[in-house]
Amino acid sequence: DERADRLKDILISRDRTRAGKTAPPQGLYFRAAYYPESPEMERAGLKTLARYPRFRSNSV
């Protein structure tokens, strides 16, 4: 994928100006991460998408 290659090049360059505009940091913070369901993630005790109500298959 061309976009993935471009992103990889930007990350390797460590030059944020190549990535385009970003949101200002005021008020932004990291709350949580949810990962795709897999035995490895469960064993590691990481929250998976299946545990997050918005991503459950039976939710609307």
State the greatest distance between any 2 C-alpha atoms of the chain, in Å, as a whole number: 42
**pLDDT given at position 57:** 56
At residue 13, the pLDDT reads 95
Using 70 as the pLDDT threshold, list the residues of the chain that sit under it.
50-60
* SS3 state of residue 1: coil
Per-position DSSP letters for 12-58, written without gaps between them: HHT-GGGG-----STT-------B---HHHHHHT--BGGGSGGG-TT
Distance CA 20, CA 10 (A): 10
Tell me the sheet residues that pair with 35: 48
pLDDT of the residue at 12: 93
pLDDT at 54: 63
pLDDT of residue 9: 93
